Amino acid sequence: MKSGRRLVRYHWVWAAVVVTALFLLFPSGVRAASQPSAPLTGSSNVAETPYEAHGDLRVGRSGSLTAPTILDRDGKPFQLRGASTHGVQWFPEYISEDTFRTLRDDWGINTIRLALYPREGGYLQGSRDRMDAKIREGVSAAQKLGMYIILDWHVLNYNPNDDLEQAKAFFRTYAAKYASVGNVIFEICNEPVNTPWYDGSSRDLYTYEKTIAGVIRGCGSNAVILCGTNTWSQDIDQVAQKPLSFAGIENVMYTFHFYAATHYDSLKNKLRTALQSGTPVFVSEFGICDASGNGRYDTDNADSWIDLLNANNVSFCCWSLCNKAEAASYIRSDCAKTSGWSVSDLTVTGKWYRELCREQREKELASEGLFADVLDSSRYYYDAVYAASKAGVAKGFSASEFGWNRDVSRAQFISWLWRMDGAPSEDGSLPFTDVSSGAYYRNAVLWAWKKGFTSGTSASKFSPDKTLTRGEAVTMLYRFSGEKKPESGNLFSDVHPQDYYYDAVTWAADRGITKGTSSSAFSPGQKCVRAEAITFLYRHDPSFGRA
Ligand code: IDC
In a domain, 11, yes or no: no
State whether 396 and 329 are in the same domain: no
Alpha-carbon gap, residue 305 to 280, rounded angstroms? 17
**Which residue, 511, 472, 519, 510, is CA-closest to 36?**
519
State whether 265 and 321 are in the same domain: yes
End-of-domain residue from the set 317, 344, 371 = 344
Q: Report whether residue 285 contacts ligand 1, using a CB cutoff of 6 Å.
A: yes
In a domain, 102, yes or no: yes
State whether 269 and 406 are in the same domain: no
State whether 423 and 523 are in the same domain: yes
In a domain, 3, yes or no: no
Alpha-carbon gap, residue 522 to 470, rounded angstroms? 8
State whether 299 and 423 are in the same domain: no
Q: Which pairs from 36-43 meet CB under 8 Å and 24+ separation?
A: 36/380, 36/515, 36/516, 37/380, 37/535, 38/512, 38/513, 38/539, 40/380, 40/382, 40/383, 41/383, 42/4, 42/383, 43/4, 43/7, 43/8, 43/377, 43/378, 43/382, 43/383
State whether 386 and 337 are in the same domain: no
Q: Report whether residue 293 contacts ligand 1, using a CB cutoff of 6 Å.
A: yes
Domain extent, residue 97, equals 49-344
In a domain, 390, yes or no: yes
SS3 assignment, position 311: helix
**Which residue, 330, 372, 382, is CA-closest to 17?**
372
269, 305 contact by CB (below 8 A): no
**Which residue, 434, 437, 362, 447, is CA-closest to 397?**
362
Kindly state the greatest CA–CA separation across the chain. 94
State whether 152 and 275 are in the same domain: yes
In a domain, 422, yes or no: yes
End-of-domain residue from the set 298, 328, 344 = 344
Q: Catalytic one among 285, 364, 472, 532?
A: 285
Q: Which atom of ligand 1 is nearest to the CA of 324?
A: 8
State whether 115 and 186 are in the same domain: yes
Q: What is the DSSP string of 246-275?
A: GGT--SEEEEEEEETTT--HHHHHHHHHHH
In the chain, how many domains are there?
2
The answer to whether the bond into 202 is cis (omega within 30° of 0) is no
State whether 116 and 162 are in the same domain: yes
**Which residue, 305, 302, 347, is CA-closest to 328?**
347
The answer to whether residue 285 is catalytic is yes
pTM over 0.85: no
State whether 316 and 434 are in the same domain: no
State whether 273 and 207 are in the same domain: yes
Q: Report whether residue 119 contacts ligand 1, using a CB cutoff of 6 Å.
A: no
110, 150 contact by CB (below 8 A): no
490: left (phi > 0), else alpha (psi -120 to 50), else beta?
beta
The answer to whether residue 191 is catalytic is yes
524, 494 contact by CB (below 8 A): yes
End-of-domain residue from the set 344, 373, 403 = 344
In a domain, 115, yes or no: yes
Write the CATH number for 117: 3.20.20.80
In a domain, 444, yes or no: yes
SS3 assignment, position 531: helix
State whether 88 and 198 are in the same domain: yes
Q: What is the DSSP string of 442-478?
A: HHHHHHHHHHTS---SSSS---TTSBPBHHHHHHHHH
- Give me the tens of pLDDT residue by residue for the chain, a chain 547 residues long: 334 444 444 444 544 444 444 444 433 322 233 333 332 223 332 347 899 989 999 999 999 999 999 999 999 999 999 999 999 999 999 999 999 999 999 999 999 999 999 999 999 999 999 999 999 999 999 999 999 999 999 999 999 999 999 999 999 999 999 999 999 999 999 999 999 999 999 999 999 999 999 999 999 999 999 999 999 999 999 999 999 999 999 999 999 999 999 999 999 999 999 999 999 999 999 999 999 999 999 999 999 999 999 999 999 999 999 999 999 999 999 999 999 999 999 999 999 999 999 999 989 988 888 888 888 888 999 999 999 999 999 988 888 889 999 999 999 999 999 999 999 999 999 999 999 999 999 999 999 999 999 999 999 999 999 999 999 999 999 999 999 988 877 889 999 999 999 999 999 999 999 989 998 999 999 999 999 999 999 999 999 999 8
In a domain, 333, yes or no: yes
Q: Which atom of ligand 1 is nearest to the CA of 115?
A: 19
Amino acid identity, position 155: V
